[in-house]
Amino acid sequence: MISDAIRFIFNPKTPFWTGKAMDLLFDGIPINCTSKNFKARTICSTFEAGEIEYIQQVSDDATEFKFSLFGAFNDSTNGVFKVYRGKKEVTDIGRIVEVDGQLDIDVWNSDEENKFKGTDGYWIPPFRNIHDRIWVYERQICATLDLEYTQKTHHRGVPLRTFSQNLDRFSTNKAYCRENGSCPIQGTLDLFNCIGVPLIATLPHFLDTHPSLLANIQSGLQPNRKAHEIYISIDLKSGIPFLVAKRLQINFELAPIPEIEVMANFRSIIFPWIWVEERLKLNGAYVTLIHSTLIS
């Protein structure tokens, strides 16, 4: 049924779509639901019912829709976080208590991994040492990053300690496996349980992943630790982050689908799509203020 519906709605000639990145991300790829074919109408009725949040209705008569990965979430917030202020225990400052009124999530196969751990990454408790780990909850991936000390660094003369993370802990913990028993391979996080879509998170350019992922891609990827790792550089005494880089690559999990003609001979592959970066670097005025009031 789905194969016939795809043919009537999209009439694909290839498993790949060519177009503007902005259309795929936010503006939307047009979906034509004018077909009177019963199978096509059945599929289009799920679009009209709003059951798929990535698909938005365009026309009043429910014959035109648009698909985008992030359009439905544009101009949205990251939710309401309830955190400790550190009034009773300063080392609890910024620690997440609730998100949107929930004490935990129901995503992974473990109560422990469903807990909110640490902070959102912008508040780090003070009086740290290099043996402490930094836990940062990232709502977009329904998971907590676990950063460990890696090296000394400086920013504008202030000595800092850098903590970084690869994604190995997700591939070595059965809590992150799917119900069918499929588990993430080295250096990946399977986002299916989180968002219901077969997307795989890695570090950019497959940094610190199983060699087979990079070997499957002909060209264009050159993993570089300085450019592609996740890290936070903090002053241990105050806990203030001076340098932060959050980086993540989103990949499609592709596999042959015999029932769909254009996908029948496709080989199984984790196909890189896009990587994003969020960075923080304190400017000179803030560094001087913090150094003179909290550090020196």
Contact criterion met (CB below 8 Å) for 140 and 107: no
Q: Is 213 exposed, middle or buried (0-12, 13-18, 19+ CB in 10 A)?
A: buried
Q: Write the secondary structure of 89-153 as one string of H (helix), E (strand) and C (coil).
A: CHHHCCCEEEECCECECCCCCCCCCCECCCECCCCCCCCCCCCCCEEEEEHHHCEEEEEEEEEEE
Give the Cα separation of 157 and 112 in Å (integer). Answer: 40
Task: Kindly state the DSSP code that residue 26 receives in the 8-state scheme.
Answer: I
Q: What local confidence, expressed as pLDDT, does residue 1 receive?
A: 65
Q: What local confidence, expressed as pLDDT, does residue 45 receive?
A: 92
Q: How far is CA 194 from CA 38, 69, 146, in A?
A: 32, 15, 18
Closest CA to 35 of 5, 79, 1: 5
Give the Cα separation of 213 and 202 in Å (integer). Answer: 10
Alpha helices in the chain (DSSP H): 2-9, 21-22, 38-48, 168-171, 192-195, 211-215, 225-228, 284-290
Q: What local confidence, expressed as pLDDT, does residue 72 receive?
A: 72
| pLDDT in single tens digits along all 296 residues of the chain | 678 888 888 888 888 889 998 998 889 999 999 999 998 999 999 999 988 888 999 999 999 999 998 777 766 678 899 999 999 999 999 999 999 999 999 999 999 999 999 998 888 999 999 999 999 999 999 999 999 999 999 999 899 999 999 999 999 999 999 988 899 999 999 999 998 888 999 999 999 999 999 999 987 899 999 999 999 999 999 999 999 999 999 999 999 988 888 888 888 999 998 999 999 999 989 898 888 887 66
Q: Cα-Cα-Cα-Cα dihedral of 196, 200, 202, 204, to 10°?
A: -110
pTM above 0.85, yes or no: yes
* Residue ranges covered by each domain of the chain: 2-72, 124-295
Find residue 252's DSSP bridge partners: 199, 271
C-beta neighbour count of 199 within 10 angstroms: 19
Closest CA to 230 of 130, 123, 115, 150: 150
Give the Cα separation of 277 and 245 in Å (integer). Answer: 7
